[in-house]
Each structure stands twice: as C-alpha cells, then as structure tokens.
A and B are shown apart, each in its own frame.
Chain A
Amino acid sequence: MQKIKPFDHLILILGTLFLCVPVLMALMSSTHTAVDIHSNGLFITPGSNGYATYEKVLTHRGGFTGDVTGLLMLKNSLIMGFGFAIGKIVLSMMAAYALVYFRFRFATVLFWMIFATLLLPLEVRIMPSYQVMSQLHLLNSYTGLIVPLLASATGTFFFRQFFKSVPDELLEAARIDGAGPWKFFIDVLVPLSKTMMAAIFIIMFIYGWNQYLWPLLMTTDESFYTLMRGIKSILQVWVGSQIPDYNEAFALAVLAMVPPVAVVVIFQRMFIKGLTESDK
C-alpha cells in the first residue's frame, strides 16, 4: 500500500477549501439579513433569514416596471443556456458534417477560416452584430439574444475532429445499406456523437448562461433580464444611505449556480459513460 503523505494531503485540503469556502460563504451569507452582512461581514454559519430572502428573490417584483421576479430571470437565463447549447450543437454538427463528409472546393480553407474566428472574441464584432440585429428588428427578442452567437468555431472544430475519427468503412457500410447522407447523419453519426454532444453541451450551456454583455446590449425590455443582470442591478442601488441587498445578491448568485452545476452533474455521468463504453 502507498504511504500516506501528510504534506500532499495538506495541499489537497487547502486547495479544496480555497475553492469551496467562497461558495459556502455565499450560501450562508444569503441566509442573513442585509444589515447583518453590512455590519458583520460574510458568514460561514447559517442564519435565520434564509427562507424570506429566497422567497423574496424568486417572487418579488422589482425593476422599473415592477414585473421582474427572480423566477422570470431564471427562466430567461435557462432559455439562453439551453438555446445556446442546443443551437450551437445542431449548427456546429451540421457544419462539421458538411466539412468532413462532403467533397467541395476549399473545404479545408473554409474550415481554417471558421477556426480562425476563435481568435476574435465577441467584443470585437459586437457593434456590427448589434447593428445587424437592430436593422432586422430583433432587439428585445430571444431570437436576437441567441441567434447571432450561435455559430461556434469551437463546436465545429470538436465535431470535425470527432467525425474524422469515425472509420470510413462505417460510411461505406451505410451507403451499401442504402442510407443517404441525411439518414447516415441521423442514424449513425448523431448516436455515435452522444459523448461529444454531452461535452459541448456542458461548455455551451455555461457559456450561454453566463452571457452578460450581449444581453445588456440587446435588450432594453426588463422582461428579458437574466440572472446575471439581476445580480448586478441589485448591487447598483447604492444611493444615499441605502444598503444594497447583499443577501439577495448572494441568493441570486447561489440560484445562478444551481442549473450549471446540475447540467455538469447530469451530463458528466453521460460523458464518462460514453467515454468508457464507446468503441468505434
């Protein structure tokens, strides 16, 4: 048996604490009142105000219009997250399918052009994108929020590499079995890509969930508020003697963590299962 090395464990324990304590603090602090937090700092013990805070955060109508509840923001964030993840998977799979399996001119050049866009962050093209959306009258809509960011070089790259690793004989067998391009894609490639899809889903869901700048620009209507903007707006009310509702911000942050964590947990299982069981 391997000897237990106390020093190694110490490092591991420190690392774990480093990552977990802030999360725990956020969770615990959210159960105290704002005044309490303001005067005593952060807590790592549970308080008594938890239920009230979360209820208020989820159902209290806030904002200028007085319509924005935590639930609404949660819904919007989920729409963003799922819209991004699903849209990006569908789009990049189809793009990669075309790049790998169809012989057309400049396919490689096209691929590298797509790949090169990885170098450009969203911020570089944010103004032109905004203008296009505005001229299409898609401001303040889910379509406008999601569609412009759907093209994914990362996803296309991953799926392309994956498709390239699928043996050609599978395609040939399918052709002999009478499966056309569409049937081969749906019946063979999509089921084979399950692991890949799970991995991309995790990445893209969190990418969509964490969007802040783009929704800020695209939507002026408060009914499109996402959780990320909600947290920010709670902390923005520092006017005069008013204390920001720290507890609510923490509660929102905790709520904002739940869906991504759930997605990771659920898909990770699929991901690992696929990795260990698949053989092509």
Chain B
Amino acid sequence: MAELTLNAVGKTYSGGVKAVSGVDIQISDGEFIVLVGPSGCGKSTLLRMVAGLETVTDGEIHIGSRLVNQLDPAERDIAMVFQNYALYPHMTVRDNMAYGLKNRRTPKAEIETRVAEAARMLELGQYLDRKPRALSGGQRQRVAMGRAIVRQPAAFLFDEPLSNLDAKLRVSMRMEIRKLQQRLGTTSLYVTHDQLEAMTLADRLVVLNGGRVEQIGAPLEVYRKPASTFVAAFIGSPAMSLLDATVEGGRLMLEGHVLAEVDHKAGPVTLGLRAEDLRLVARGGVPMRVEYIEELGAHRVVHGMVGDQSLAVVDQGAEAPGDLIHIAADPARLHLFDAATGQRIDVRSRVGEFAR
C-alpha cells in the first residue's frame, strides 16, 4: 500500500499526437480515485502509463517513494483488472490467481492461503477448479479481481472493469468493488466513461478532457461546483442544461427574462442549470414550452425549450407536451461559466430569488 504521485505526466505518441499532457495528481494511501471522461480523453492511456504498459514521455510517476517511469509493469507492485478480464483461458481459476505469485517465487503454502482467502472474499470457492469459460461474466470479473487481490499490491488499477457486464450486474459489482476496496484499504485508480459509476465509487474524481485534467475533487464537490462547462455537462444525469445568457446591470437575463441578480460584469455568460434545481412557478419566472417528458417513476424529467434553447426540469406535475410552464431557479444553485473559455465564474448572487 502506498500513495501515488503523478507529476506533470504527459504522453506524446511518436506521430506527435499528444494523448495526455500535464497531469498532476496526488493520491494518498488507500484512496479510491476514478478517472472519468468521454472516450478518447486519455484516461486509459494515463492508467496504462501508471501500469507501465505505455511509456511515459513527460513527467514523473511515483508509487510510494519509488520513481517508476522506467520500471517494468511487474516491478511496479501494481495489479490491474482489465475490461475483458484477460484471464488465461487454459488455466483454472486457481492457477489464474496463482500465476502472478508463482512468477514471483512466492512459497507454495503462501500462495495457497492467499488464493483461498481471495476466493473466500469473492465467493469463488466452489469455482476454483473451473476454467474461465465455464464461468459467467460476473464471475470472470471476480476472478480478475481475485488475481489482483492475491498479489497484495501497492495499488489496484481498474480499466473499465464493468463495461462488459449487464446493467444490473454492473450495479452490484460496483458495490462489491467499493466494499472490497474499503476492506483492503488498497490505493485504487479506476477508469470509466460512466459518470454514474464514477460518482458512486470515487473518493475523488478526476475528470479528463482531451488529455488534460478538467477538475479533481470529491464527487459531490464536482457535482455541485463543476469547474467548467465540460465537467458540468459530463457529470450528472440528466446532464446539466447549458444555456446562453447575459448579464446586464447585475441581472442575469435568460431569453429576455430576469433569472437572478449576480455580481458580475455585463456581457454574455453560459448559464448552467441542473434539472433538479429548477422548479415550476405559477407565474413569473422563465416560460418554457414542454417538448417531451421522461417518466422515471420517482419523478419525471420535463424537456422543453426556452426561446430556442433546450432545458430539462425535474418535476412531479402532470404537464403534457405543448404546455407552457414557468420555471424558476434558486440563485444559489446557478452555475455561471465564461462564455468564451467555459471556465466557472464564481459569483455570489446578491439577493434571493428574483422571480418570486
């Protein structure tokens, strides 16, 4: 077990393509870090650089106190769980788990105990003598985790381990992974493109975009204070609505309606509104034409148009497509972003709600 330090880490492929650049992350011992971002954002590359499967072209990676840039994957004291499990198809579950230990000349008795322990933890006891092909997807994934656990490494690396599972299994495996990690207290780096998975698993999230870190923070912090429009749109479901608005004389105007008073210089801004932060009002507020409705049981998500910009609102009501509704927002829950750079603007909304 160890902390993990990434220091200005970058990756430039021989063709000159920059996959990752300037990534600084400090991961303390036992922390569960999730790298999240859309496909092609460099999250897997970054993970594979930590694993030693990709060379590091810039910066330094430390595992514990060791600089590992030049070390072989096997010498880095890490274990990895792959998306397609990467179990050795010709070996039994037991041999799959034991293989890494055998190669490290761990004494036989020690291997036995560790494999038995991991099998017990993962409820794989009765499958130890089976080949991977005789197991279901979830069981295979557990074997892959067992293979990581028995090694007792400094860090676990997960590369989208749940992507090949069906939705229901994914939720339960997510819980298992989290519980297991908390029990073992092993530093973990987890890659996913699923923001829900990221939110539920992480101690801290690292949101990546185009090979750069957009934001690092606890899930709620990232959710409540997205650092940029990219993070705002990526984290949360339904996605945060981003609308063009303007500030005129300390008033935030959306499509000609005043939404709140803000302390910001006049000019265009990008306004971020979370569906659950909006509510319906009888009059005043911003009028919205209902387009369609997602019925989710516990609540419904109403999608509509404000002027020619789309917006989503969580609601319990009974409006139908075509209705005109009026919405208002809690000024404390508004997100403002620079219209040009997309960076968050931290402003205090001076007074309470305007559209009362």
Contact = CB atoms under 8 A, between A and B. Distances in A.
Partners in one complex: yes
Nearest to B100: A177
Contacts of B53: 172, 175-176
Given A172-B53, A172-B73, A172-B80, A179 B86 contact: no
Contacts of A187: 88, 99
Given A192-B90, A280-B89, A177 B103 contact: yes
A172 B48 CA distance: 10
Contacts of A194: 90
A277 B89 CA distance: 10
Given A172-B53, A177-B74, A179-B99, A188 B88 contact: yes
A205 to B, nearest CB: 24
A167 interface: yes
Contact of B74 (A169, A176, A192, A278): A176
B133 A279 contact: yes
A29 B216 CA distance: 87
Interface in B125-153: 133, 147
A167 B87 CA distance: 10
Given A177-B99, A277-B133, A170 B88 contact: yes
B78 interface: yes
B23 interface: no
A192 to B, nearest CB: 6
B104 interface: yes
Nearest to A194: B90
Contacts of B133: 277, 279
A173 interface: yes
A77 B350 CA distance: 97
Interface string A166-191: 01011011111111000100011001
Contacts of B51: 172, 176
Nearest to A192: B90
B74 A175 contact: yes
Contacts of B88: 170, 173-174, 187-188
Residue from the set B52, B78, B99 with the largest chain A CB neighbour count within 10 Å: B99
B82 interface: yes
Interface in B41-96: 51-53, 72-74, 78-80, 82-84, 86-90
B104 to A, nearest CB: 5
Interface in A141-183: 167, 169-170, 172-179, 183
Contacts of B84: 167, 169
B197 to A, nearest CB: 20
Nearest to B51: A176
Interface string B242-257: 0000000000000000
Nearest to B157: A176
Interface string A248-280: 000000000000000000000000000001111
Contacts of A174: 88, 99
B72 A175 contact: yes
Contact of A176 (B79, B83, B89, B90): B79
Contact of B100 (A178, A188, A277, A279): A178
Nearest to A170: B86
A192 B87 CA distance: 12
A280 B103 CA distance: 22
Contacts of B79: 176
Contact of A179 (B52, B83, B103): B103
A174 B96 CA distance: 10
A61 B236 CA distance: 89
A176 B86 CA distance: 11
Contacts of B86: 167, 169-170, 172-173
A187 B103 CA distance: 11
A176 B80 contact: yes
Nearest to A175: B73
A100 B88 CA distance: 19
Interface string A22-36: 000000000000000
A106 to B, nearest CB: 17
Interface of A: 167, 169-170, 172-179, 183, 187-188, 191-192, 194, 277-280
Interface of B: 51-53, 72-74, 78-80, 82-84, 86-90, 99-100, 103-104, 133, 147
Given A172-B51, A176-B79, A279-B133, 17 more contacts: A170-B86, A172-B53, A172-B82, A173-B82, A173-B86, A174-B88, A175-B52, A176-B74, A176-B80, A177-B74, A177-B100, A177-B147, A178-B100, A178-B104, A188-B90, A194-B90, A277-B133
8 contacts: A169-B86, A172-B73, A172-B82, A173-B88, A173-B147, A176-B79, A177-B100, A177-B147
Report the 3 A-B pairs with minimum CB-CB distance, sorted nearest first: A177-B100, A169-B86, A178-B74
